[in-house]
């Protein structure tokens, strides 16, 4: 079985992992470039039929692809794993942003368990650059805690309309044993767009955090 399909497999996986209750996914294409199998790990809050239906609907709506349900294998994790996921979540402790001349400095402090970690980045003090600086500082805090064993980079940070509100969406590239993986997180913009950028970054990371710990 070949895991071909290249960027198409990544796009499918990125879409599937954004669906409700989906923890992880792997998409496999054969050598001819045809979709072969989709392997999904999901939580236990929703029924398997609901998760499968969401996957089928999402792939049809986004890519116009009709998937045979027999091509999808679904495994669900129970309450014990859910408890582990909850204990393994990173939380935002503090954000500090200062400007000196044309230079900006962002420092983010995270908490994991009973310990804290910090990340600091410097960059241009531009209006559009603040969100990326905060997101990058959040990743640097994560890397400092785990001594840079994981390699992350920010692909994109954007503000998008969401009904009558706005949300910050962060796309992260993770370089791991399986190659590149893309994580996407979001946070409603309530009062502070910098805080929303940090929380969106954490939302992306926390979707995979317990699995990354095992690596």
CATH number at residue 50: 3.30.300.30
Is the pLDDT at 89 greater than 80, yes or no? Answer: no
| 2 part of a folded domain | no
| 138 part of a folded domain | yes
Point out the domain boundary residue: 32, 64, 84.
84
Angle value at C-alpha 57, between 4 and 38, nearest 5 degrees:
30
Q: Note whether 79 and 144 are same-domain residues.
A: no
Q: pLDDT tens across 129-185, in order? A: 889 999 999 999 988 876 655 678 899 999 998 778 899 999 998 876 667 788 888
| 1 part of a folded domain | no
pTM of the model: 0.56
Report the number of distinct structural domains present in the chain: 2
Determine the structural domain holding residue 20 and report its residue range.
Answer: 7-84
CB 74 within 8 Å of CB 42 = yes
Q: Strands, DSSP E only, in the chain? A: 22-29, 35-42, 72-76, 91-100, 103-112, 115-124, 151-162, 165-176, 179-188
| 77 part of a folded domain | yes
| 69 part of a folded domain | yes
């Amino acid at each position: 079985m070949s895991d071909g399909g290249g960027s198409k497999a990544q796009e499918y996986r990125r879409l599937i992992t954004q669906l409700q209750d989906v923890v992880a996914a792997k998409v496999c294409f054969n050598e001819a470039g045809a979709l072969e199998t989709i392997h999904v790990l999901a939580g236990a809050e929703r029924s398997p039929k609901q998760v499968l239906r969401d996957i089928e609907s999402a792939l049809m709506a986004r890519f116009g692809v009709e998937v045979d349900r027999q091509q999808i294998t679904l495994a669900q994790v129970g309450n014990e794993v859910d408890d582990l996921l909850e204990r393994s979540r990173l939380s935002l402790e503090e954000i500090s942003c200062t400007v000196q001349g044309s230079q900006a400095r962002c420092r983010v402090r995270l908490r994991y368990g009973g310990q804290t970690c910090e990340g600091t980045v410097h960059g241009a003090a531009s209006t559009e650059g603040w969100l990326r600086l905060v997101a990058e500082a959040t990743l640097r805090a994560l890397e400092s805690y785990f001594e840079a064993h994981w390699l992350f980079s920010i692909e994109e940070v954007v503000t998008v309309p969401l009904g009558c509100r706005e949300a910050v969406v962060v796309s992260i590239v993770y370089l791991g044993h399986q190659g590149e993986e893309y994580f996407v997180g979001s946070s409603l913009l309530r009062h502070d767009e910098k805080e929303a950028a940090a929380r969106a970054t954490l939302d992306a990371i926390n979707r995979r955090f317990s699995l990354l710990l095992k690596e």
